[in-house]
Structure 1
Amino acid sequence: MSYLSVKNLTVELSNGVPLLRRVSLDVAAGEVRALVGESGAGKSMIGKAVLGILPRAAKLTGGEIILDGEDLQALSPKARRQRIGAKAALIPQDPLTALNPSRRIGPQITDRLVEILGWKRKAAEARALELLEEVHIQAPERVMKAYPHELSGGMRQRILIASAFAAEPKLIIADEPTTALDVTVQKQILKLIRDMQQRHGTALLFVTHDLGVVSKIGQSLTVLYGGKVIEETSVKTFFDAPKHPYSKALLAATPKYTDPDGSLLPVPDSVITAVEQEVASFDTQGNG
């Protein structure tokens, strides 16, 4: 059974330019689904639409978002925020900008528990300390009193992971959570997210442009181009035998660690032209 089900999701700018084109996807309980594609494909926009944090210039104009069997669009704005706050969480891309530089770490973890879920402050602080230990942060009492700038990038990202898991959500959306980290720390953070996801049985929607990351963390995969779903398959099938020409081109363009001196292969213009025509035709069908 799907914990998250997105059906024909359409998001447009205020001038009518589409950002998501009737996107449908499912994430089962405990599943890791990766969203991949070039910059501007609509990966992060899906996560923002689910969490109700679309930018002001964008508007959800069609489709359904079913979270734990409940249609979020049928709820009042207040009820929707409460449901999302209790059942879903976000691991954002850049920990330095995601954390408030003028506040200590402790309240930034506990506020969500206290203000949205009604926890007592003391219980929330105990939970925060427990989570900091779970994400392998030493001296958690000291870190709770620290400011973000006093910590390394890897520690800040671990804190965001701890914060995301704080209320035991059944869905976490990770929006390129390793992009701002160096390769060594990236590997540690990926393993931590995977370990936490498995331990807590959380559904994970993982946004990335890095197919190498997908191979390490994903179970299923959705390929996007121009806000349209191009291919949906298992990660194993994608790497063994992708079906869509654009998917094949993306895979071919990925650098091979086994061939460090090999040439980088851009996605051919012919493939881009064909997939753009496919998107245009899809729009025409939708408006017909």
Structure 2
Amino acid sequence: MSFLSIHNLSVRLKKGPPLLRRVSLDVAAGEVRGLVGESGAGKSMIGKAVLGILPPSVEVTEGEILLDGVDLLKLPPAQRRKRIGAMAALIPQDPLTALNPSHRIGPQITDRLVDILGWTRPDAEARARALLAEVQIPDPDRVLRSYPHELSGGMRQRILIASAFAAEPKLIVADEPTTALDVTVQKQILKLIAGMQARHGTALLFVTHDLGVVSKVCQRLSVLYAGMVVEDTSVADFFAAPRHAYSAALLDATPKYTDPSAGLQPVPEAVIAAVQAEVVAFDRGAAHG
């Protein structure tokens, strides 16, 4: 049974165009599912909808988001926040802006455990120290007393990973968690996330534009274009034989590190035109019921 099930989720700007077009996908307990596509495809919007953090200018117009069998969209706001807070967490994209610069690291990990989940302060602090050690941060006590600007980007991202796992959530949304890091640190962080996910058995919705990342950490993936899922498949099948022309073009556009002389291959205009036509046809069908 899927821990997260999204059925026909549509999101749009209020009095504006659609951002997600009847998106459906499932994430099983302990599974890692990738969301891939170019910038603006709607990857992060799916994660925000699941976590209940859509911008005020955006609204859900139809669909279901079932978290452990309960439709979040049918819950009163307070109950929805409580359920999401107990079961899900976020690893955000930019570790510098995600952490409050005026607060020390310790409270930024422990306050959620104390205020939302009812932990005692000593238990929450012990949990924070243990998690910092698990994400391979030396001298956790010093780091808990530090401010974000006193730490490197890689260390800040490790702190966000520790914070996401703090309450043992059943689902984590990782929103391009390595984008703001250099290549060497990216590799370390990906390995760390994969190890934490495996040890804790957490379902992971991994948002990325990097198919190389997908090949390393995901079991299944959804390919999006303009807020529409064009392919939903296993990672193995995707890399062996993508079914949709746009998926195949994305794969062909991936840099070939084994052949530095090979030039970059953009997605052909004919493929873009064809998938745009699919979106137009989809919108026309939706408008007519």
TM bucket by the smaller chain?
over 0.9
Match of 1:100 in 2: 100
Question: Which amino acid counterpart does residue 139 of structure 1 have in structure 2?
Answer: D
Distance 1:207 1:99 in 2: 20
Distance 2:210 2:99 in 1: 24
Match of 1:285 in 2: 285
Distance 1:44 1:216 in 2: 20
Distance 1:260 1:5 in 2: 41
SS in 1 for 2:90: strand
The Cα of 1:74 is off from its aligned counterpart by: 1.7
SS in 2 for 1:54: coil
1:149 aligns with 2:156: no
Question: Which amino acid counterpart does residue 280 of structure 1 have in structure 2?
Answer: V
The Cα of 1:134 is off from its aligned counterpart by: 0.5
Match of 1:248 in 2: 248
The Cα of 1:193 is off from its aligned counterpart by: 0.3
Distance 2:268 2:76 in 1: 46
Match of 2:10 in 1: 10
SS in 1 for 2:86: helix
Amino-acid identity (%): 74
Match of 1:192 in 2: 192
1:115 aligns with 2:115: yes
Q: What pairs up with 1:42-191 in 2 under 5 angstroms?
A: 42-191=42-191
The Cα of 1:71 is off from its aligned counterpart by: 1.0
Distance 1:196 1:168 in 2: 11
CA-to-aligned-CA distance 1:242-281 (integer Å, 9 cap, x gap):
0100000000000011111101000011100000000110
Give the gaps of 5 or more residues in structure 2. none
Match of 2:259 in 1: 259
Distance 1:103 1:78 in 2: 26
Distance 2:185 2:136 in 1: 13
SS in 2 for 1:109: helix
SS in 1 for 2:179: coil
CA-to-aligned-CA distance 1:155-194 (integer Å, 9 cap, x gap):
0000000000000000000000000001110000000000
SS in 2 for 1:198: helix
SS in 1 for 2:41: coil
CA-to-aligned-CA distance 1:226-251 (integer Å, 9 cap, x gap):
00000000001101100100000000
Distance 1:10 1:121 in 2: 41
Question: Which amino acid counterpart does residue 248 of structure 1 have in structure 2?
Answer: A
The Cα of 1:16 is off from its aligned counterpart by: 2.8
Question: Which amino acid counterpart does residue 16 of structure 1 have in structure 2?
Answer: G
Match of 2:233 in 1: 233
The Cα of 1:61 is off from its aligned counterpart by: 1.1
SS in 1 for 2:130: helix
Distance 1:15 1:225 in 2: 21
Q: How many residues align?
A: 288
Match of 1:202 in 2: 202
SS in 1 for 2:230: strand
Question: Which amino acid counterpart does residue 128 of structure 2 have in structure 1?
Answer: A
Moved over 6 A (4+): none
Question: Which amino acid counterpart does residue 51 of structure 1 have in structure 2?
Answer: L
The Cα of 1:14 is off from its aligned counterpart by: 1.2
Question: Which amino acid counterpart does residue 168 of structure 1 have in structure 2?
Answer: E
Distance 2:128 2:24 in 1: 35
Question: Which amino acid counterpart does residue 68 of structure 1 have in structure 2?
Answer: D
Distance 1:267 1:131 in 2: 42
SS in 2 for 1:93: coil
Question: Which amino acid counterpart does residue 65 of structure 1 have in structure 2?
Answer: I
Distance 2:185 2:194 in 1: 14
Distance 2:143 2:57 in 1: 37
Give the gaps of 5 or more residues in structure 1. none
* TM-score normalised by the chain length of structure 2: 0.99
CA-to-aligned-CA distance 1:86-137 (integer Å, 9 cap, x gap):
0000000000000000000000000110111111111101100010000000
Match of 2:40 in 1: 40
CA-to-aligned-CA distance 1:47-68 (integer Å, 9 cap, x gap):
0000000011111111000001
Distance 2:56 2:133 in 1: 37
Distance 1:243 1:223 in 2: 11
Question: Which amino acid counterpart does residue 96 of structure 1 have in structure 2?
Answer: L
Distance 1:260 1:207 in 2: 27
Q: Quote the RMSD (CA, aligned, Å).
A: 0.6
